[in-house]
Amino acid sequence: MKEKITQLLSEIRSAQVTNKVQLEEFRLKYLSKKGIISTLFEDFKQVFGDQKKEVGQLLNKLKNETQEKFSSFLQNIENENTSTELNDLTLPGDPIQVGSLHPINIIRNEIIDIFKRLGFTVSEGPEIEDDWHVFTALNFPEEHPARDMQDTFFIEKNPDILLRTHTSSVQIRVMENQKPPIRIIMPGRVFRNEAISARAHCFFHQVEGLYIDHNVSFADLKQTLLYFAREMFGNETQIRLRPSYFPFTEPSAEMDISCNLCGGKGCAFCKHTGWVEILGCGMVDPNVLENCQINSKEYTGYAFGMGIERITNLKFQVKDLRMFSENDVRFLKQFLSTI
């Protein structure tokens, strides 16, 4: 046994390992559970008498030297790997994956930019709201259909906690906390209990606008919206306002722009009318001002609200609303160059 160990010792001392495969072979042969050294320790149990001490010492020496050898091989291989990586400056770099902004964010930012140029600042509010901020303070009558479970996602009933159905709720939060003059836009996500299809989704995005000051008139509203439409869709864009109804504005209107696909001549997109609807607006109802402790004899204001998906569709002609929330990289990558 002594001879065997001495022979192994010289074998180990002269061993050469230059790569990971050889290192693993070395480990399996000598150091693994079924390797030579473990087997020798098994055999050592049969050694008795004065032999025991000497063979034992020799065997330990073999084990230690083999382990040291293994560690130094490992270190060499690792050093070699890092040093080649660092030294070869001609190696091509790892490609950097550049992400793209979501089309909804691109348009949201563009809308914010346009209104910032007119002195508007951005405000945000919570997506989980109460009845007061979404309906009551906005002058919604008790029996209004939007208060129905079929249109609104309720989280709790009595007191009502719900997912906001429009960003008009942020108007109330700001007016409750700020004194006029107020000139803000409020982008955000809204929720409605709708069946999901190419044309409707249970969540989408809006931007709300609000301007409250002395002597704000409908003419101010019209001019602001015309400026917005032309900045967004080009200088040739025409607007038209149709009378409408919203509980929180009086008078109320809906705004159309001349179809930006056919230039107003009529096409399939505008259903051959030459016009497409883009937003709702009006003069803030005095009841809403009073609900927020703003004196409606002293102040007037206008408000407007638009769907970001709608504006995005007009700019990018996305045919199916569901694409916005499917996170399909093939779809999202197309907007890379528009950042």
Which parts of this chain interact with ligand DAH (CB under 6 A)? 166, 168, 208, 246, 249, 280-282, 303-305
Nearer to ligand DAH, 160 or 254 (CB): 254
Residue 66 or 312 having the CB closest to ligand DAH: 312
| Least distance between ligand DAH and beta carbon 168 (Å) | 4
- Residue 102 C-beta: closest distance to ligand DAH, Å: 21
CB of 167 to ligand DAH, least distance (A): 7
Distances from the Cα of 241 to the Cα of 131, 270, 315, angstroms: 30, 16, 21
Phi and psi of 201, rounded to 5°?
-140, 160
Q: Select from 215, 181, 224, 223 the least CA-distant residue to 300.
A: 215
Residue 203 to residue 225: CA distance in whole angstroms: 25
Neighbours of 48 (CB within 10 A): 7
Q: How far is the CB of 268 from ligand DAH (least distance, A)?
A: 25
Q: CA geometry: angle at 259 spanning 257 and 261, to 5°? A: 145
Q: Judged by CB, which is closer to ligand DAH: 5, or 255?
A: 255
State the minimum distance, in angstroms, from the CB of residue 218 to ligand DAH.
Answer: 12
Query: CA-to-CA distance for 233 and 154, rounded, in angstroms?
Result: 37
Q: Is the peptide bond before 92 cis (omega within 30 degrees of 0)?
A: no
Decide if 246 contacts 280 (C-beta within 8 A). Answer: yes
Exposed/middle/buried for residue 3 (C-beta within 10 Å: 0-12, 13-18, 19+): exposed
User: Which residues have CB under 8 Å from 156's CB, separation 6+?
Assistant: none
Is the CB of 4 or the CB of 222 nearer to ligand DAH?
222
52 versus 242: smaller Cβ distance to ligand DAH: 242
Quote the least distance from Cβ 282 to ligand DAH, whole Å: 4
CB of 98 to ligand DAH, least distance (A): 35
Closest residue to bound ligand DAH by CB: 305
As measured in angstroms, the least distance from the Cβ of 157 to ligand DAH is 22
Which residues is 246 bridged to in the sheet? 249
Of residues 38, 30, 24, 18, the one with CA closest to residue 66: 30
For ligand DAH, the closer CB: 166 or 183: 166
- Pick from 209, 188, 208, 190: nearest CA to 200: 190
Instruction: Identify which of residues 30 and 173 has a Cβ nearer to ligand DAH in the complex.
Output: 173
By beta-carbon proximity to ligand DAH, the closer residue of 100 and 178 is 178
